[in-house]
């Protein structure tokens, strides 16, 4: 008998597909309102953290439903597998699960296209000076991009995409399609079909002086935390841009703000921050040519179905004793 914790939304929306995934194996579905057994144990073997449970939770502010979810996992001694809707599993709330050696799988790939399009949209918006155009519109000012205001061509410039998972790989593909020279970075330098060159994370710092567009799309790990600091940002060419759809902690934010204030960088498109929600008093809200997004680069109406597809495939594998997709590796 497999006991799985999931939301009523998932059960109602994917009922027939759930039954198909179980493939005749004996199972029991429980929700967040399920009581524990006499010994205080909830008896959960597997669980799916779907977006409706997470709600508007951030790394530092957890919803009541998410608190309940993790409480039930904590008090399930036979828990073997947890699937999350997110592309990563670096939130502090996951640490106890990882410490127990429980298999974790992510929604990696389900959000890749959406995040990649958003990141490349940020590149295009900055390259074509959309922030300045929007500012001029607010002032009812007609200010054509002529003479010294004319932006450089985007095609032919260089991009360094840090992180070549499903998201970073798709970003690299799209950037090459619009004419950029793309260098990718990942833990070890291995070729990638959508990159002109691939380097290791250890080489990122040395390549920043030749990078026009620094695009961060990596998971938060010990290798990537603080991979970009003030000195590295200052070594970028004057007028270079930064796009971050990774995690806020991959940049040393305080030092980043100082480099932005100096006018050395041409601008930034930021979807993630060291502390979320971003403090209303943060200078990032008001710095010129800085576009702030509330960690929304991956949100789209089709996500629920795409993530559920990964979960249902993994559920079938789980009950059959087969290897799972998108397993979180140790140290990630």
pLDDT confidence of residue 329:
84
Domain for residue 326, yes or no? no
**Mean residue pLDDT across the chain:** 96
Domain for residue 212, yes or no? yes
Q: Which stretches of the chain are DSSP H helices?
A: 8-13, 15-22, 51-54, 64-74, 95-99, 112-127, 130-138, 166-177, 204-207, 230-235, 253-262, 303-320
pTM: 0.91
The CATH number that applies at residue 32 is 3.40.50.720
Q: Which domain holds residue 273?
A: 111-292
pLDDT confidence of residue 88:
84
Tell me whether residue 247 is one of the annotated catalytic residues: yes
- 172 and 280 belong to one structural domain: yes
Could you please report the per-residue DSSP string of 92-129?
Answer: GGGHHHHHTT-EEE--TTTTHHHHHHHHHHHHHHHHTT
- 97 and 125 belong to one structural domain: no
Domain for residue 331, yes or no? no
- 182 and 221 belong to one structural domain: yes
- 100 and 63 belong to one structural domain: yes
- Torsion angle of the four alpha carbons 277, 57, 110, 243, in this order, in degrees rounded to the nearest 10: 10
Range 60-75 average pLDDT: 95
Query: pLDDT tens-digit profile of 172-217?
Result: 999 999 999 999 999 999 999 999 999 999 999 999 999 999 999 9
- 203 and 286 belong to one structural domain: yes
Domain for residue 263, yes or no? yes
Range 242-255 average pLDDT: 98
pLDDT confidence of residue 331:
58
Q: Which of 27, 181, 247, 289 is catalytic?
A: 247
- 53 and 154 belong to one structural domain: no
Q: Contact at 8 Å (CB) between 48 and 17?
A: no
Number of independent structural domains in the chain? 2
**β-bridge partners, 28:** 3
- 175 and 196 belong to one structural domain: yes
Domain for residue 315, yes or no? yes
- 183 and 269 belong to one structural domain: yes
pLDDT at 101 over 80: yes
Range 229-254 average pLDDT: 98
- 227 and 116 belong to one structural domain: yes
- 167 and 142 belong to one structural domain: yes
Q: Contact at 8 Å (CB) between 41 and 76?
A: yes
Q: How far apart are CA 90 and CA 107, in angstroms?
A: 13
Q: How confident is the model at residue 87 (pLDDT cuts 50, 70, 90)?
A: confident
Q: How far apart are CA 231 and CA 291, in angstroms?
A: 22
Q: Which of 289, 295, 299, 306 is catalytic?
A: 295
Tell me whether residue 100 is one of the annotated catalytic residues: no
Domain for residue 328, yes or no? no
């Amino acid at each position: 008998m497999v006991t799985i914790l999931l939301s009523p939304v998932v059960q109602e929306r994917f009922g027939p597909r759930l039954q198909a995934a179980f493939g005749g194996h004996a199972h029991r579905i429980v929700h967040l309102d399920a009581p524990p057994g006499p010994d205080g144990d909830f008896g959960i073997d597997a669980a799916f953290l779907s977006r409706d449970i997470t709600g508007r939770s951030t790394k530092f502010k957890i919803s009541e439903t998410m608190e309940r979810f993790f409480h039930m996992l904590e008090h399930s001694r036979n828990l073997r597998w947890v699937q999350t809707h997110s592309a990563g599993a670096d939130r502090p709330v996951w640490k106890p699960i990882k410490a127990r050696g429980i298999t974790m799988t992510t929604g990696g790939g389900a959000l890749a296209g959406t995040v990649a399009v958003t990141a490349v949209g940020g590149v295009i918006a900055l390259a074509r000076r959309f922030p300045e155009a929007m500012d001029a519109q607010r002032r009812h000012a007609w200010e054509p991009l002529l003479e010294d205001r004319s932006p450089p061509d985007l095609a032919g410039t260089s991009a360094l995409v840090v992180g070549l998972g499903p998201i970073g790989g798709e970003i690299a593909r799209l950037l090459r399609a619009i004419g950029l020279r793309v260098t990718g970075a990942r833990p070890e330098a291995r070729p990638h079909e959508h990159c002109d060159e691939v380097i290791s994370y250890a080489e990122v710092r040395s390549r920043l002086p030749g990078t026009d567009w620094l695009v961060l799309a990596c998971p938060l790990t010990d290798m990537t935390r603080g991979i970009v600091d003030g000195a590295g940002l200052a070594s970028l060419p004057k007028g270079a841009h930064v796009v971050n759809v990774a995690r806020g902690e991959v940049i040393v934010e305080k030092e980043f703000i100082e480099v932005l204030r100096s006018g050395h960088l041409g601008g930034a498109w930021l979807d993630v921050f060291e502390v979320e929600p971003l403090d209303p008093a943060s200078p990032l809200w008001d710095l010129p040519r800085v576009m702030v997004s509330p960690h929304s680069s991956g949100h789209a109406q089709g996500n629920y179905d795409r993530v559920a597809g990964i979960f249902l495939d993994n559920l079938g594998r789980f009950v059959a004793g087969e290897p799972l997709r998108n397993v979180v590796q140790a140290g990630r």
